[in-house]
Amino acid sequence: MEKLIVRQSEALHGTVRISGAKNAVLPILAACLLTEEPCTITNVPALTDVMEMAELLEEFGAETSYDGLTETMRICSETLSNQQAAEKNACAMRASFLAAGPLLTRCHQAALPLPGGCPIGSRPVDLHLKGFSIMGAVHKLEHGVVELSAKNGLRGKRVYLDFPSVGATENIMMAATLAKGTTTIENAAAEPEICDLADFLRKMGAEITGDGTDTIVIQGQKRLHGATHNVISDRIEAGTFMTAAAITGGDILLEQVRQEHLTPVIAKLTECNAKTEVTSSGLRVYRKGRLRPIQLKTMPYPGFPTDMQALFMSLAAVTKGTSVITETVFENRFMHAAELQRMGADIKIDSRSAIIEGVDSLTGTSVRATDLRAGAALILSALAARGETEISDIYHIERGYDRIEEKLRALGADIQRSKDS
């Protein structure tokens, strides 16, 4: 096991290139199962989740290759000899269940273990299964494995989601591309990653309208073809470095970002007294004055993203005054609060709200990354804390950040990777 050693850093300065979006590339890789023809995906970050998804596709019979220098992955799913996933890869990440829709609609059957991932709350697949059932599939759950079957193929139907689930929207949308007739997804998720998946599917020959709104319409096709696609930049990684500039009083230029995907983060950073500026080279984020306390509530897009909540808690912990953060998406996403308290943060949890009284400074100590975004939040807190902080269980961080310590060091951070003793 490895850990990160982080020491208090001066204000971070410089330029950082934002990688491709984890939450966009994973469903896009799953969508490659929809066609017999080769697909080429570019701007693919070298994340553990990405490599595990590639292994999962190979289990089904697909051929994959990854070029780290060009960040390009090639997938050919000409022959799908297996429609059942082994427990190892499927249980390692939530996105593994995104293979269900493509397998079910192309092969008329699929079997996947209930997915794993970060322990941030209940994320059942019932909405996925509801959509498949409406479209004509049957399913059963035995020994933790969901078995799906649609012997006569899927049929386009009206599917209303009780909650705008990103994963369910993506899975049903992919399944609908080869279904007979028209599928309408109501109360659909509208995240940028949904739109990126829809763009890729359209390049494959799918007919999709309404992505980015709460109603998506998919006209089923007889077959899809191969395509080449460049993945959008990661808005959460971008938000992480934006928050790093704010917490250290730095000045960072972010390259390869989509400003329109960052509107809620920019708004809340502005309330905190951080400045943002669009330049010809990218998005500049800097802070020169004192931080101000905030109130925020996580919501489905275009609301404030739940994936940024932990990072803003780190920011609030060193901001004079009282900040209130309310989590509405996941019920168990305050586990990082206890780790921040070990560093001296004054945080009280009241149901789904966290009340943070800013302290003058945090103190470095040994902490544990409880999930992906919590790990990133601990890094930011450590940059602003007196002394040295040891962060363990960093495999969580590697699921969603490509070379984060290298990028931070290039900005002036004092951060090193070390073997756990």
Would you call 258 exposed, middle or buried from its count of C-beta atoms within 10 A (0-12, 13-18, 19+)?
middle
Residues annotated within a binding site for phosphoenolpyruvate? 22-23
User: With a threshold of 0.75, does the pTM exceed it?
Assistant: yes
Enzyme catalytic residues: 118
- All domains of the chain in start order, with CATH: 2-18+233-419 (3.65.10.10), 22-230 (3.65.10.10)
* Structural contact between residues 247 and 314, judged by C-beta atoms closer than 8 angstroms: yes
Q: What is the pLDDT of residues 148-159, one digit of tens each?
A: 999 999 999 999
Kindly report the CA angle at 255 between 64 and 391, in degrees rounded to 5? 75
Tens-binned pLDDT, residue by residue, of the chain (421 aa): 899 999 999 999 999 999 999 999 999 999 999 999 999 999 999 999 999 999 999 999 999 999 999 999 999 999 999 888 877 656 567 789 999 999 999 999 999 988 764 443 445 789 999 999 999 999 998 888 899 999 999 999 999 999 999 999 999 999 999 999 999 999 999 999 999 999 999 999 999 999 999 999 999 999 999 999 999 999 999 999 999 999 999 999 999 999 999 999 999 999 999 999 999 999 999 998 999 999 999 999 999 999 999 999 999 999 999 999 999 987 767 989 999 999 999 999 998 999 999 999 999 999 999 999 999 999 999 999 999 999 999 999 999 999 999 999 999 999 999 986 6
What are the CA-CA distances from residue 99 to residues 32, 49, 264 (Å)? 9, 14, 31
What are the CA-CA distances from residue 390 to residues 8, 12, 15, 401, 415 (Å)? 12, 20, 26, 18, 10
